[in-house]
Structure 1
Amino acid sequence: MRHRHGQMPTLTLQLAYTQTSSSNRSKKYYLKQYPLKLRRLTRSVMEDSMKYMISLLLGLMLASQAAQAVEKRYVTDKLYIQLRSGPSNEYRILKVVQSGEHLIYLGEEGDFTHVKTTKGVEGYVRTQYLVNEPVAKENLILANRELDNIKAELTTARNQVKELTQELETAKSERADASRSSTELERELERIRSISENAVALDEKARKLTRKTQELELQVSTLSAENQELRGDRSLSYLIYGGGLIVVGIIGGLILPGLRGRRSNSGWA
């Protein structure tokens, strides 16, 4: 089915039916194209939303500019009251007292309070301007003073913590040095103990060596004496041998010439 120009299509989905010849009948269903009205409606909603957002942004910009254009004024927290010589406005003004100033309470008369300043000036001020507690400015001053004190205490505490940290590090270093010294002392003590334990054995060994040395010295002395005796005997033997040779030489000297004479005589005969 076709839509004529300008005719609005329906929102429902319709089915188209087509019938073929009697011998071969079949049903065919076709879904029509998605309705155009829904797309137009969506487009319209989006356009309205954009217009609303633009209007809202313009309104916010105008409100911001208007707020910036407004000048502001604030009520001062400084108040000056008149200290008069009597309890009414008819009396002369002694001085002007600023808000937050300390006044000593002396009494009340009607709407006025009899007070005295810190400098000793007495007079009357309206009771409505007096309070029993410090005003905001005074509280701020006190708070700032307390804050300054706290900051000073905090700085002092930090310095103390820093000093204590340094002392702790120094103590740790000294403890480490002491531990090393203690270890060295323990090693030296152990060495001394070991030497002490071996002292008896070393003393006995020294005594044995001393006795052996004495024995060796005695043997050396004995051998030296024997060597001297042997040398004396050998000298005597040499003398005996030498004397014998001399005697033999003498005898030979006496005998040999006689033998030669005999041979000569016999030859001549």
Structure 2
Amino acid sequence: MNKYISTLLILILLTFKVSAESFVYITDQLDIPIRSDQSFGQNIIRLLPSGTELSLLQSTEDGWAQVQFDDTIGWIKSFYISNEPPAREELKKLTRTYNANKLLLSKLTSEKEVLETELLTLKQENTDLVIQSSKSKAEKEHIEQIYQDALKLEHENEKHIQEKLQLKTELQLAENNTQIQKDTSSRNWFIVGAIVLFFGMIIGFIIPGLFNRRRY
């Protein structure tokens, strides 16, 4: 009895309305008509191509399904629809995805090559900058050494100038002393000559007088 009730409930659920959120797909290769009622005749509302996604509203035991596409609601035979998209449509979708991915891969490959070229250029520029930095550092050290040598030479020049001035001063003093000595020597010789002359004059006056006295 319970088994019979369970089977009956399942049939009822399959027969009556299902959730409007359910989606089904047209599976036939031909365009399938949506009809205004559950019959074959002049009741076609519109035709739908294979792979069209529909909202399933309800299905019946005699093989009809009520569906909605955009604003159109109608009936279609259940064997024309499936819960999964047709393999042909999936293949088309996958082919489009593959082609898009292939195009994207080609684009990414090109961008990768451009980036690799830019990276090599940046590496070369970095190497050149390192070399230039080394040269600049060496030039800076050379300039600093020249500056230090210049300061040293300037200090030595100042020292030589001071020594030269000192030697000039000493030479001037020596010349002054020599001149003083010359003047002193000349003065001494003048005094000695004057004394000699004085004593000569005295002798010249005294000796003749003595000779004259002896004669008388």
Q: Same fold (TM over 0.5)?
A: yes
How big is each residue's C-alpha offset from its partner over 1:40-93, in whole Å with a ceiling of 9 and x where there is no partner? Answer: xxxxxxxxxxxxxxxxxxxxxxxxxxxxxxxxxxxxx72233322112335722
Q: Which runs of 5+ in 2 are unaligned?
A: 1-27, 180-216
Task: Identify the structure with the greater strand proportion.
Answer: 2
In structure 2, what residue type is equivalent to 1:156?
A: K
Out of 56, 69, 75, the residue aligned to residue 117 of structure 1 is: 69
Q: Give 2:136's aligned residue.
A: 185
Q: Distance in 2 between matches of 1:101 and 1:138?
A: 9
Q: Distance in 2 between matches of 1:88 and 1:144?
A: 38
Bigger RCO of structures 1 and 2 (CA < 8 A, at least 6 apart): 2
- Is 1:88 paired with 2:39? yes
How big is each residue's C-alpha offset from its partner over 1:196-230, in whole Å with a ceiling of 9 and x where there is no partner? Answer: 654664344223321343356558878999xxx9x
How big is each residue's C-alpha offset from its partner over 1:6-65, in whole Å with a ceiling of 9 and x where there is no partner? Answer: xxxxxxxxxxxxxxxxxxxxxxxxxxxxxxxxxxxxxxxxxxxxxxxxxxxxxxxxxxxx
Structure 1 residue runs of 4 or more that deviate by more than 6 Å after TM superposition: 219-225
Q: Which runs of 5+ in 1 are unaligned?
A: 1-76, 230-269
The structure that has the greater radius of gyration is 1
Q: Distance in 2 between matches of 1:129 and 1:217?
A: 127
How big is each residue's C-alpha offset from its partner over 1:221-258, in whole Å with a ceiling of 9 and x where there is no partner? Answer: 78999xxx9xxxxxxxxxxxxxxxxxxxxxxxxxxxxx
Q: Give 2:107's aligned residue.
A: 156
Note if contact 1:85-1:91 (Cα within 8 Å) is conserved in structure 2: no
Q: Distance in 1 between matches of 2:172 and 2:107?
A: 90
Matched residues, number:
152
TM-score normalized with structure 1 length: 0.47
Task: Identify the structure with the greater helix proportion.
Answer: 2
Find the residue that maps to 1:150 and give its secondary structure. Answer: helix
What CA RMSD, in Å, does the superposition of the two structures yield over aligned residues?
A: 3.4
Matches within 5 A, 1:78-227: 78-89=29-40, 92-110=43-61, 111-118=63-70, 120-195=71-146, 198=149, 201-215=152-166
Q: Distance in 2 between matches of 1:208 and 1:90?
A: 127
Q: Distance in 2 between matches of 1:220 and 1:146?
A: 106
Task: Please report how far the alpha carbon of residue 127 of structure 1 lies from its aligned counterpart in structure 2 after TM superposition.
Answer: 0.4
Note if contact 2:57-2:66 (Cα within 8 Å) is conserved in structure 1: yes
How big is each residue's C-alpha offset from its partner over 1:71-125, in whole Å with a ceiling of 9 and x where there is no partner? Answer: xxxxxx722333221123357222333222222211112310001223x222111
